[in-house]
Amino acid sequence: MKAVMETYKRMNITPTKGKGSWLFDENGDRYLDFIAGIATNSLGHAHPALVKAIQEQAAELIHCSNLYEIPLQAEVAEMLTASTDFDKVFFCNSGTEAVETAIKLARKHAYNEYGPQKSEILAFTQSFHGRTYGGLTATAQTAYHEGFGPMLPGFAYAPFGDLESAREMVGSQTAAVLVEPIQGEGGINAAPEGFLQGLRDLCDENGAVLIFDEVQTGAGRTGHLYAYQGMGVVPDVLTSAKGLGGGMPVGAVMAKEEYASLTPGNHGSTFGGNPLAMAAVRAVLGVVDDPEFLEEVRFKGRILKNALALIADRIPGAEVRGEGLLLGLDLKDPELARQVFEHCLEEGVLVNLVAGTTVRLAPPLTVTRAEIRHALDTIRAALDDLVGVLVGTSAARHQSAVA
């Protein structure tokens, strides 16, 4: 690994094979994958439908320039628009590219309709929208900005969930409001009741585009094809990636007709919408975009969330957040969260930490109920070993501070 740039804090695990919800390393040790490539392996590993689709397409045509018609791209776009409230789709290769596209699209729409003075993008604290400069600037977490300044102009930030603050900041200058309906990297934070509808109203009142970043919540993750469909609020533009390709790099921006402002020469992608990626998306949608499958995701999500809530009851202040199979167990104590994470790793259950104190669980949508029980047993066992010592230590620290 000496030749690989050290941009990741890698764990000492070397997966070489996957099957279903499990990863296997070069020694044959297995790990229950409850992070799924960070909500990306939506069908788990080596799903027959996805493997077959990729193999067959690779033997026919892997890449073709967007200078030409790509029938499979048109077919997948129609699958997405038929199952959502959108009319047009632009394909790219990742979530951050999708966010970049959405920002450009919103500013172009505002320019066409109102002029250059309407260009500001409102985003929210604790957000994560990617690592290119547009997505990075929209990500209202200074830790991600440090060392890379200056950030781009034309962005404003409001506290996530605070509608009154957003109302004060949205005005004639606002081209778009960009928000995750459930924040992923920020700690699995669900938008509070009325917040998204309030943003919808603000955008309508001020001629701004409402963009939902569903890179992490999309492709069935919450038990709906896209999370907005279970929330009763329809955005104008939506970004998608991660689970959409089941592990193949692919992103998409979906827009209502009146907001599809990008025209030839405005934007593009060399690899976006290539036949291999489209074959993967078609296979994923063929499994996920099914009412019975999505109901099963919701059911398994309820099982997991309810059981995690019982675990959280043991920890002062702990809570469970999220929907479907995107859940966070916030233990409030960074040391306790770290040790629970490490215990799970030692026991062969892969989870990860976000926002310092939250254990994120995002298993494949195909995870079995038995595998859910196994993961829960591992987390319970971790707390059986740790909670008495660490909670007692935290209480002693608190007592000392009060004294």
Query: Do residues 271 and 353 share a domain?
Result: no
Q: Which of 310, 319, 332 is nearest to 394 (CA)?
A: 332
Tell me if the bond preceding 150 is cis, omega within 30° of 0: yes
Give the residue numbers spanning the domain of 326: 15-33+291-402
Please say whether the beta carbons of 359 and 337 come within 8 A. Answer: yes
Final residue in a domain of this structure, among 288, 308, 326: 288
391 pLDDT band, cuts 50/70/90, is: very low
Please state the domain count of the chain.
2
Query: Do residues 264 and 302 share a domain?
Result: no
pLDDT at 165 over 80: yes
Helices and strands: H and E segment counts in the chain: 12, 17
Q: Which pLDDT does position 400 carry in this prediction?
A: 38
In this structure, is residue 5 part of a structural domain? no
How far apart CA 266 and CA 191 sit, in angstroms, is 33
Query: Do residues 119 and 256 share a domain?
Result: yes
Query: Do residues 302 and 282 share a domain?
Result: no
Query: Do residues 264 and 157 share a domain?
Result: yes
Query: Do residues 24 and 54 share a domain?
Result: no
In this structure, is residue 9 part of a structural domain? no
CATH of the domain at 252: 3.40.640.10
For residue 226, give the DSSP letter. S
In this structure, is residue 375 part of a structural domain? yes
Query: Do residues 103 and 237 share a domain?
Result: yes
Query: Do residues 302 and 242 share a domain?
Result: no
In this structure, is residue 123 part of a structural domain? yes
Query: Do residues 142 and 238 share a domain?
Result: yes
Mean pLDDT of the chain: 95
Final residue in a domain of this structure, among 248, 268, 288: 288
Tell me the average pLDDT across 348-371.
97
1 pLDDT band, cuts 50/70/90, is: confident
Q: Which pLDDT does position 52 carry in this prediction?
A: 98
Please say whether the beta carbons of 40 and 242 come within 8 A. Answer: yes
Residues 6 or more apart whose Cβ sits within 8 Å of residue 176: 102, 103, 106, 107, 110, 121, 122, 203, 208, 209, 210, 211, 237
In this structure, is residue 212 part of a structural domain? yes
Helix (H, G, I), strand (E, B) or coil at 178: strand
In this structure, is residue 41 part of a structural domain? no
Please say whether the beta carbons of 134 and 105 come within 8 A. Answer: no
Angle between helices 334-346 and 369-402 (to 10 degrees): 150
Residues 6 or more apart whose Cβ sits within 8 Å of residue 331: 312, 315, 318, 337, 340, 357, 358, 359
- Which of 65-79, 100-114, 279-293, 374-388 is the least confident region? 374-388
CATH of the domain at 380: 3.90.1150.10
Query: Do residues 176 and 284 share a domain?
Result: yes
Q: Which pLDDT does position 357 carry in this prediction?
A: 97
pLDDT (tens digit, 9 = 90+) per residue, 173-224? Answer: 999 999 999 999 999 999 999 999 999 999 999 999 999 999 999 999 999 9
Residues 6 or more apart whose Cβ sits within 8 Å of residue 379: 308, 311, 329, 340, 344, 349, 359
Written as six digits, the tokens of 399 are: 């007592």
In this structure, is residue 216 part of a structural domain? yes
Final residue in a domain of this structure, among 269, 288, 307: 288
How far apart CA 31 and CA 363 sit, in angstroms, is 12
393 pLDDT band, cuts 50/70/90, is: very low
Q: Which pLDDT does position 388 carry in this prediction?
A: 61
pLDDT at 4 over 50: yes
Query: Do residues 238 and 278 share a domain?
Result: yes
Query: Which of residues 99 and 399 earns the better pLDDT score?
Result: 99
Query: Do residues 174 and 25 share a domain?
Result: no
- Which of 53-57, 139-143, 364-368 is the least confident region? 139-143
In this structure, is residue 183 part of a structural domain? yes
